[in-house]
Amino acid sequence: MQVYKFGGASVKDASGIINLSEIVRKNRETPLLIVVSAMGKTTNALEKLTRAYVDQADDMQFIFEEIKQYHYEILHQLFAPNHAVFDEVENTFVEIEWTIEDEPHDDFDFIYDQIVSIGELVSTRIVNAYLNKAGIASQWLDVRGYIHTDNTYREGKVDWAKTKQSIQQDVPALLQKGVVVTPGFLGGTSENFTTTLGREGSDYTASIFAACLNADSVTIWKDVPGVLNADPKLFEATVKYDELSYAEAIEMTYYGASVIHPKTIKPLQNAKIPLLVKPFLHPEEPGTIISETQHIVFNTPVIIVKQNQVLLSISTKDYSFISEDHLSEIFGLFASTHTKVNIMQNSAVSFTVCFDDAPEKFEKLMLGLQPAFRVKYNTELSLITVRHYKQGLLKELTTGKIVLLEQISRNTVQMVVK
């Protein structure tokens, strides 16, 4: 069997969903499970709605109505007005209405997951309904009953034993009846609350199902021709890699390459399942294959840019050395706030870290650090990572920029720049 994952760009409008159905129609040689993200920029809009709800902002209802109207416009282009999918979508949006009717009392991360998860629940309802309308037997699967996580909201940790048991118990029989469509990005707790697996986590969902079902392959359908050496939105004349090793793909995603979610590769590597990254507008093209292949010569460096970064310098208040005890306390705070360190550097009296600027996490981190440490920070920075680098390229990338921190190893250079 195969697992396909379609991202938000591939289902952002009615023509995208029609294109998805044609890709499915042409690739039905084996049983197929489809993982679908929220449509277009819906996750961004739902994040904005979550913040408006928590802040009790005046435009909260307006944001919600815009999200609903965006989906209803797509529905009207695909279905007759009396189609059952309209009620399915409306009933799904009701879950948000129930939430925002009351004043916010719960933890922000919990609220985030209950609201933002609706994007995938709605998109998969629409995709599943259209596949059936197009004559492709399809059934919707609520992923929250199959990917079991703990209560770490926004970064749900998967209970692999329970997840594997649930998936293997039901899904193979469902696949024999037709295509299975399921939401990406989501999981469920033992108390039946919704969790998310981390931003852009639908790739990870696909790899979880593939590993549990021993799939032949996973295909991620993107708006790019494959895995490129750099983001085409930031750089001209990018180069596509025809193949990559699991190890190189893990390195690229760890450093922030957005084409694949960081947690995607490991389950596939463990199960020796190849991952294909292909363009949804040109499905006949080969894309990039990621597998156990070795001995790839990199003539083109990999360039990864992470924007909206914070550079934080931490020192003791009495100017004593930063000891292992201090580092233990600091890393404990980063772990408790679920803040991922992108680069770090230690000196005698200070410890410097760079990480993504997430206001809720940053506020908690500062509250934890300030009683015991002196803290200085810069925001609105960029982290540039270059693998298989060349000196001339490094100079080109930093021209006109101030380099605040630099680390160089055998294969990789990282630079925090302003």
Given 3.30.750.24, 3.40.1160.10, 2.40.10.10, 3.30.1330.60, which CATH number is that of 2-291?
3.40.1160.10
Distance CA 154, CA 253 (A): 19
Task: Determine the CATH number of domain 302-417.
Answer: 3.30.2130.10
Task: Tell me whether residue 5 is annotated as binding.
Answer: yes
- Please check if 187 is assigned to a binding site: no
CA angle 292, 296, 299 (to 5 degrees): 150
Q: Could you give the angle at the alpha carbon of 39 between the alpha carbons of 34 and 45, nearest 5°?
A: 140
Residue 236's Cβ-side half-sphere holds a number of Cα atoms within 13 Å equal to 0
Q: Is 193 annotated as a binding residue?
A: no
7 is in an annotated binding site: yes
Question: How many H helices and E strands in the chain?
Answer: 13, 16
Q: What is the pLDDT of residue 199?
A: 87
Splitting the chain (418 residues) into consecutive groups of 10 residues, what average pLDDT does each group show? 97 98 92 98 97 96 98 98 97 96 91 97 98 97 98 96 98 97 98 94 97 98 95 92 93 89 94 97 96 82 96 93 94 94 94 94 94 95 95 92 95 96
DSSP for residue 228:
B
8 known ligand binder? yes
d(CA 154, CA 140): 23
> For the whole model, what pTM was predicted?
0.92
The domain limits of the chain are 2-291, 302-417
Q: Is 6 annotated as a binding residue?
A: yes
2-291 and 302-417 agree in CATH topology: no
Q: Which residue in the block uniquely carries the two structure tokens 């809720």?
A: 360
Q: What's the Rg (C-alpha) of the chain?
A: 22
What string of DSSP letters covers 135-162? T--EEE--GGGTSBB-S-TTSPPB-HHH
